[in-house]
Every structure is written in C-alpha cells, then in structure tokens.
Amino acid sequence: MHAPLYSACLRGAGSVIGLARMSLDAAAYRRGKDAPVAYPETAYELPVVFGLTDIPVSTLSDTGKVLDLAGTLVRAFASLENALDAGAATLLAADVIGALSHENGNPFMPPATGFVPDAILRKLGIYLVDGSVPGVAVVIGKAADPATAAAMVRQFQEIGLLVFLAGDVVPQLDAQGVKLGEDFKTFPLGPLPAVIHAVNFAVRAGLTFGGIGRGQKTAMLSYLGNRVRAFVCALGPLDDIALAIAAGAMKAGLTVLSDQPVPEIPGLLLSRPPGEEMVRAGMEARGIKVKMVKVPIPIAFGPAFEGERIRKADTHVEFGGGRSVAYELVRSAPPDEVQDREIVVDGPDLRGVPKGGVLPLGIVVRVAGARMQHDFESVLERRIHRIVNYGEGTMHVAQRDTTWIRVSTEAVEKGFSLADLGMMLYAKLHGDFGNIVDKVSVSITTREEEVQAGLAGARAAYAERDARARTLTDDAVSEFYSCTLCQSFAPNHVCIVSPERLGLCGAINWLDGKAGFEITPTGPNQPVRKGAVRDAVKGSFDGVNAFVREHSRNTVAEMNLYSIMESPMTSCGCFECVLAVIPEANGVMAVNREFTGQETPCGMGFSTL
C-alpha cells in the first residue's frame, strides 16, 4: 500500500540531487570551483547542511561533498526508513540549490522573499518563545480552490501562526488579497523548491536558541520534532519532487497534511480536505493549543498583524505622535466602581473625520479584581500597544502621553469605530489577565478640552509610578523573579529578573514577573528568594544560584547578575544587542541586531558574535 509512495520519494530525491548537481556544475563553470558560496545575512553558511552534517561549506567545491553525502542517503529499497532518509537527502540538495540561487540576493520576483535572514529569525524569536506565535504552518503546492486556501491562511494569521508559503499558492494568495510579508508574519518564499527556506529557518532556530552545534544531527532532528511546532499543508497533486520534500519534512518530525487521497502514515502523513479540517488536524498533530479570544469587531484581529505598518497614504485618521495630544492610562479601582464591558466614546468618531484627519485622544481603562494590584497598572497599560497592533488596519507606537495611533482607510470602510477599539482592549485584557482582572471598562474621548483635562491626571499617575519605580532596587526586595519562557526553544536557559535588571530579551521587567506569577502561579515567572549574599559586587546570591542550577537541569552551576566576565547570565538568542570585550580599550563594544555589516571594532558583526 505504501510502497509506491516510498518509491516516489526515492525518485524525487534523485531528481533534486540531479538538479543540484546541474546548478553546481553551471556555477563552477561560470565562477570557478573555489568561488565562495553562502546564503546572505546568516552566520550558518548553508543552515540545513550546517545542522545535519559536519561538512563546513565555504566554496562551491564544498557543496559537491554535500551532494556526495546526499547521494549515499538514497537507497533502492522502498521502505519508510529509506523514504525518510531520501527526504533528508532532498533537504541537503535543496539547501545547495537555494544557496546557489542566492548568489546575487533574492532571485525571485515580488512578493516572494526567498531566504529569510538571521535578523528576522531573531526578531521573531521572542514571539516564538512567549507563545504569541504558537506554531508554524508551511503551505506548499497549488490550491484547487484559491479562496479556500486564502481562508486557511487568514485563519492561520488570526490564530497567530508563523506562515511560510511555497509554490503556485503564492501568486494565488496574492491575487486573493491575502496580506503577505514580514509585517504579517507570512512569508511567500517563492516556487516550490524555495520551501527549503522554511526548513533552514527551523534549523537555525535550533542553532540559535537551542544551543545545537554543527553536525549534531540527532540533537537537531530531536529539536525540530519536539520543540518546533510546525506542520505542512500540501495542496494539489503531489509529484515525485513534492513527495521527496514532504519526506524531508517528515524526517524532521513535522506532520504533512495533503488534500489528496494518499496512504496515511500516523503522525507523519495525513489526508485531509483543505480548510477548517486541515487546520485543526495540523494543530492537533503538533500539539498547538491556542486560547482564542474572539473579538466582535469588523476587522481581522490577531498576532499576525502586529508588525503591520500603516503608511500615511493609507491612513484615514491618526491620533498623537506629535500631531495632536494623546494619552492612554490604566487605573485600578474597587469592584463597585467599575461596570464591566462598559465602553464609552465621547467626541467625533472615525467615520465623521475626513481622510487624513487628526484627532486628540484620551483612553482610560479602569480595571477591578480581587488580585489586582496598583503595581500591575503599568503592566496592563503596556499591553495596550500589543492589543491595538493586533488589529488589521490599526497601528500603535509608543505609550503613555507619547502614544501614536493610526487607523487605515480600509478598516474604517469595513465599519471599524472607536467603540471597536474599546472592545479590543476589553476583550484582550479580560482574556489575557483573567486571573487578576474581573471587570474592565473603557472610556475614549476625542474632545480637545476633555483630553487636555484628562492629560494632567494621567501625567500625575505616571509621575507617581516613576517615583515608586525609583524605590525598587535590588537591595530593596527580598526576591527576584525567574523567566523560563525561552525554555520552549532553549531548554537550559534561565533568566533572573530583578528590579535593576530586565530579562535578556528586554521585554520582561520585575513588575512583569510579579504580575506573571499572579496570573499563572505555575508559569514561567516564579519568585526566586535571593538568599545569602555571596558577592555583592558581582551579584551572586545563594538562592539565585540554587534556582538556576535546578531549573537549568544542573547545566549552570552559578550566575552573577552584575558581571559580564564571570558566570554571566545565559543567553538564548532573543537579545537585541551583543557586548564584546575590546582589550585594547579596556572596555566593551555593543552591536545591535539591526546592524548587518562586519565593520565593528572587533571585526565581527551581530550574527557572527
């Protein structure tokens, strides 16, 4: 029953290796066998080759060794084991083809992105580890019904999955008006062979966040199967090459779902009709569980839209950002003073403003709950930024009284109003902070005099919080908080968050940790008793060391909070800057993620460091 399937995988692997050899021969004839080869903007040469073999690749002749190895993995007998090994061979050969095709950058026409650089991987890292992006969906092939495929991808976007597309489905979805690109966490990679860029993205996650080294094949395959929650939706007929690529995904532990009547392999290959059933089956197979907060508004809402940038030409109305007065404030209150789900809008609404208009804005969110604390107000207030950005057509920048919000013309044409903005805040604050918040009300005003009057009170609240924050020092508290969110990708990494030290990613402070523990007592933020001081200058504490030792599975024996030279905190790849010691200057240099060059004082750029 499965033999024809396995045979097709073997034939497909042979075809891909043959294509790779042809591409290599052409490149060597044109450039010489010692010409350099690598993907652009990555520290991992050819990432799949880097992660699955011990073959260093720097020249075209090195890729020949990779193809020789791939050839040994394709054996004649049609069995599941041989089909999966042929899949691994396909991935190696496809990685060679991909690198050769990127000799002069992205070889594909827009909207195809081609290879996804390390900088984007790291930028998405925090979303992958904090659960904002709960998994990865890879869609390949050609849909029989483009509208159904578009609905599937939009569902992935609302769920918050990271989406990769390869094959004819890319122009199909573009024609259907699906929003594509980095801003929407939906990457149209290119033709079918470009699906390798989804695989090498996943491999680089293991190399970057999982601490896996070159050639640690067993560890890498285990990481991909157990840590990267990804599945493949294969649309349309499956030829030999498509099946060989699917076998490569299965070798990595991913589940492949086809809309064709293929013989199933439990946990690896499933046959499902496209649409809701395929989405559900893929998520169930990979253990992707999402707590969906359904927000009754006329625009799409989800993490996929968090990176959306609304340009001025597409803006119907904007608030703040130096163009008008705007502020946002969260205040806690006794339960009898908050009417749950009360959303009040006072002043001109969006439809009453001409395109390109500017309005003042005051947003006051009042919350009540038995476990709500004043210290948590700023935590909830900062969440406004993410919530507003979840809307398709709403953009939020900055916070407090420097906030800047834009609403697109498309969103207003769909019926979006300021009451819907209030509903977004109400629904998500209830959904995300249900353990500490029992009631939420939202008041929005666009009247100049009322905004100015409310601004004075808001600034007084900000000043009060800032004064409180200045008293929060490491010496003033008896416990810090852990953050082990990144252990989903970096199993032995532990952050210790203190009043004077953020988490490594920069997204978690001490109050966030405190609130996180109240919200989820068994979650990643746990109180850590400082214990006896071992070294006050370096920041070594008995209680902290014991916690780190236990929760890093005895990998890290001790940690100094204030030293970069002796037992510093571990790293998982989610950081924004790298510090490097410059002995000649008796100091350090910092290089940020956005810097893509190598011209630094130490001669190495961000990715290399």
Q: Which helix (H) or strand (E) holds 359?
A: strand 357-359
Cα 4 to Cα 112: distance, rounded to the nearest angstrom: 33
CATH number, domain 303-469: 3.30.1650.10
- Listed by start position, the domains of the chain span 3-285, 303-469, 474-568, 576-609
- CA-based R_g, the chain, Å: 26
Lowest mean pLDDT among 68-72, 159-163, 186-190, 438-442: 159-163
pLDDT for 596 beyond 80: no
Q: Check residue 580 and give its pLDDT.
A: 87
Token look-up 């490594």 returns 504
Percent of the chain exceeding pLDDT 90 equals: 74
Tokens in use for 103? Answer: 């000799």
> Cα(309)–Cα(182) distance, rounded to whole angstroms?
11
Segment 284-287 long-range contacts (CB within 8 Å, at least 24 positions apart): 285/231, 285/255, 285/257, 286/135, 286/229, 286/230, 286/231, 286/254, 286/255, 287/229
**Residue 340, helix vs strand vs coil:** coil
Question: Higher confidence at residue 486 or residue 164?
Answer: 164
Task: Decide if pLDDT at 331 tops 90.
Answer: yes
The predicted structure's pLDDT at residue 469: 82
For residue 49, give the nearest of 91, 85, 106 by alpha carbon: 91
pLDDT at 489: 73
d(CA 453, CA 396): 23
Going by pLDDT thresholds of 50, 70 and 90, the confidence category of residue 1 is low
Chain-wide mean pLDDT for the chain? Answer: 92
Inform me whether the pLDDT recorded for 600 exceeds 80: yes
Higher pLDDT, 195 or 2: 195
Distance of alpha carbon 334 from alpha carbon 75, whole angstroms: 71
pLDDT at 158: 87
Please determine, for residue 76, whether its predicted confidence score (pLDDT) is greater than 70. yes
Distance CA 254, CA 557 (A): 35
Phi, psi of 535 (to 5 degrees): -155, 105
How do residues 289-330 score in pLDDT, each as one tens digit? 877 778 899 999 988 898 889 999 999 999 999 999 999 999
Q: Decide if pLDDT at 513 tops 80.
A: yes
**Tens digit of pLDDT for each residue in 520-551?**
888 889 999 999 999 999 999 999 999 999 99
Q: Do the beta carbons of residue 453 and residue 353 sit within 8 Å?
A: no
Instruction: Report which listed range, 42-46, 111-115, 382-386, is most confident.
Output: 111-115
Architecture of domain 3-285: 3-Layer(aba) Sandwich (3.40)
What was the pLDDT predicted at 487? 80
Asked if pLDDT for residue 449 goes beyond 70, the answer is yes
Give CA torsion, residues 167, 170, 172, 178, to 10 deg: 150
Instruction: Decide which of 320 and 488 is more confident.
Output: 320
In angstroms, rounded to a whole number, what is the distance separating the alpha carbons of residues 10 and 26? 25
Q: Is the CB of residue 133 less than 8 Å from the CB of residue 161? A: yes
Provide φ and ψ at 404, rounded to 5°: -140, 120
Structure tokens at 604: 């190495």
pLDDT 10s digits, 229-274: 999 999 999 999 999 999 999 999 899 999 999 999 999 999 999 9
Give the pLDDT confidence score for residue 492 in this predicted structure. 86
Q: In sequence order, what are the beta bridge partners of 587?
A: 582
CA-CA-CA-CA torsion for 351, 355, 356, 361, nearest 10 degrees? 0
Distance of CA 17 to the CA centre of its chain: 32
Compute the average pLDDT of residues 383-394.
Answer: 94
- Tell me which residue of 425, 407, 405 sits closest to 416, measured CA to CA: 407
Q: Can you give the pLDDT at residue 162?
A: 95
What pLDDT score does 357 carry?
96
* Cβ-contact 191, 166 below 8 angstroms: yes
Fold of 474-568: Ribonuclease HI; Chain A (3.40.970)
Q: How confident is the model at residue 336 (pLDDT cuts 50, 70, 90)?
A: very high
> What pLDDT is stored for residue 491 in this prediction?
82
Q: Would you call 84 helix, strand, or coil by DSSP?
A: helix
Nearest one of 464, 124, 172 to 303, comparing CA atoms: 124
Average pLDDT over residues 362-386: 92
Nearest to 399 by CA among 363, 350, 452, 360: 363
Q: What is the pLDDT of residue 572?
A: 78
For residue 488, what pLDDT band results from cuts at 50, 70 and 90? confident
CB 232 within 8 A of CB 256: yes
Query: How would DSSP label each residue in 385-420?
Result: HHHHHTBTTEEEES-GGG-EEEEEHHHHHTT--HHH
pLDDT band with cut points at 50, 70 and 90 for residue 132: confident
